[in-house]
Structure 1
Amino acid sequence: MDWLTAPFEVTFVQRALWGGILVSAICALAGTWVVLRGMAFLGDAMSHGLLPGVALAALFGGNLLVGAVASAVVMTAGVTALGRTPRISQDTGIGLLFVGMLSLGVIIVSRSQSFAVDLTGFLFGDVLAVGEQDLVLLGVALLVATAVSVLGHRAFLALAFDPRKARTLGLRPRLAHAVLLALLGLAIVASFHIVGTLLVLGLLIAPPAAALPWAQSVRGVMLLAALVGTTATFGGLLVSWHLSTAAGATVAALAVSLFFVSHLASGLRHRRTSPANSTLPKAD
């Protein structure tokens, strides 16, 4: 029991655990729709697209969170605008923004004569540095994400399963898509301090994907995803403490591992029982 509880008697590890739990909940709300709509590439592009804002903030001694938010707004607006351009496919637009924003971030960093701008924490996360103010901000972000998810649930659902029906029902799919992008941006900004932008998909994609074979509804996927993310956070911090590994990377790696375990167990279950009609959750 001491092996399990000793790390969490330390104050900064306790804060890291609470930060990971809050981020897991936020990522579960946004990541479920990302998985259902096949938007993983978009999530990856948006996470890397935060680099210019964070690089500028670090270079001039500003707040990294403000820089990340600014870049997220630019990425969201850019993806939305290019998505309305009939001559450019959505994947092409996302890829161009991805490379353009990443290149701009590298150029900004290279302008530093000493290259002293340390973005390691931004790229790979620094979960053990989570402070009380960060927990408050994550709590507010979770409240906002919950409100957006509840108010936009019907429109997001129609958009995920039948975009044409969403338009027929007057649910304004373009607006719903823009709001969904904003929710995704919020999850990425909230997560980069925990696992970094290079590993953010570990908490954004892996838990909902792991929950998908076991849930019977979209809300069920979200709840199970939050549980998987919390488990990955607890286990990752525990392993990191005892093996002296990078905490954020360990959390992300464990989340991905849980995805493979979940799908392996699901495959074994289907071999013993009649195959289900579909692994997608019911529209609720």
Structure 2
Amino acid sequence: MDWLTAPFEVTFVQRALWGGILVSAICALAGTWVVLRGMAFLGDAMSHGLLPGVALAALLGGNLLLGAVASAAVMAAGVTALGRTPRLSQDTGIGLLFVGMLSIGVIIVSRSQSFAVDLTGILFGDVLAVREQDLLVLGGALLVALLVSVLGHRAFLALAFDPRKAHTLGLRPRLAHAVLLVLLGLAIVASFHIVGTLLVLGLLIAPPAAALPWARGVRGVMALAALLGVTATFGGLLLSWHLSTAAGATVSAVAVALFFLSHTASGLRHLRTRPATPHPTVD
């Protein structure tokens, strides 16, 4: 029991755990729609798109969160604008924004005297450096994410499974898509301080994808994804403490491992429940 509980008797590890719990809940709300709509590449691009704003804020001594929000807004606006260009596929536009924003971010960071240290901190985060005010910000972000998810649930659901029907029902799919981008941006901005811009996709995608084979309905996926995210946070922090590994990366690695375990178990379950094929008889 000491092996399980000793790390969480330390104050900064307790804050890291609470930060991970809040982030897991936020990512479950946004990540479920990302998985259902096949928007993983967009999520990856938006997470990397935070780099210029965060890097500029760090270079100027400003607020990193405000820098991340500014970059997320630019990325969301860019994706929306390029998505309306008929001669350009959405993947192409997202890819161009991805590379462009990442390049600008690295250029800005390269102006810093501690280039490697700053870039590592931004890309991989520092979950063990979570402060009490960070927890308050995450709590507020979770409330906003819950409100957006509840108010937009019907429109998001129709958009995920039948965009044409969403338009027929008067649910304004373009507006719903824009709001969904805001929700995704909120999750990424809230999470980057915990696991960094490079690893945020682990908590955003892996828990909802792991929950899909076992949950019934979108709300069930969200609830199970949040639980799996909390499990990944606890397990990642525990392993990081005992193995002296990077905490944020370990949390993301555990989340991905849970995905593979989930789908392996789901595959074995289907093999056991599959009815045996009757052998043909020869008269």
For the superposition of Structure 1 and Structure 2, which TM-score range results when normalised by the shorter chain?
over 0.9
8 A Cα contact 1:109 1:117, kept in partner: no
8 A Cα contact 2:109 2:118, kept in partner: no
**Aligned position for 2:28:** 28
- What CA deviation, in whole Å up to 9, does each residue of 1:101-147 have, x standing for no partner? 11111221223466477132211010000000000000000000000
**Aligned position for 1:48:** 48
* SS of residue in 2 equivalent to 1:171: coil
Work out the CA distance in 2 between the residues paired with 1:117 and 1:170: 50
Work out the CA distance in 1 between the residues paired with 2:158 and 2:133: 37
Work out the CA distance in 2 between the residues paired with 1:60 and 1:116: 17
**Aligned position for 1:199:** 199
> How does the TM-score come out when normalised to structure 1?
0.95
Identity of aligned residues (%): 90
* SS of residue in 2 equivalent to 1:154: helix
> How does the TM-score come out when normalised to structure 2?
0.95
8 A Cα contact 1:59 1:117, kept in partner: no
For 1:172-191, what aligned pairs fall within 5 Å after superposition?
172-191=172-191
Indicate how the Cα distance of structure 1 residues 114 and 194 shifts in structure 2: closer, same or farther if over 3 A, else same: closer
1:67 partner letter: G
Mark the runs of 5 or more structure 1 residues left unpaired by the alignment: 276-284
**Aligned position for 1:251:** 251
8 A Cα contact 2:23 2:138, kept in partner: yes
Larger Rg: 2
Work out the CA distance in 1 between the residues paired with 2:115 and 2:157: 46
For 1:28-107, what aligned pairs fall within 5 Å after superposition?
28-107=28-107
Mark the runs of 5 or more structure 2 residues left unpaired by the alignment: 276-283
Work out the CA distance in 2 between the residues paired with 1:85 and 1:168: 23
CA RMSD in angstroms, aligned pairs only? 1.2
Runs of 4+ in 1 over 4 A off after TM superposition: none
Work out the CA distance in 1 between the residues paired with 2:108 and 2:17: 33
Work out the CA distance in 1 between the residues paired with 2:117 and 2:58: 6
Indicate how the Cα distance of structure 1 residues 236 and 116 shifts in structure 2: closer, same or farther if over 3 A, else same: closer
**Aligned position for 1:130:** 130
1:168 partner letter: T
Larger proportion of helix: 2
* SS of residue in 2 equivalent to 1:245: coil
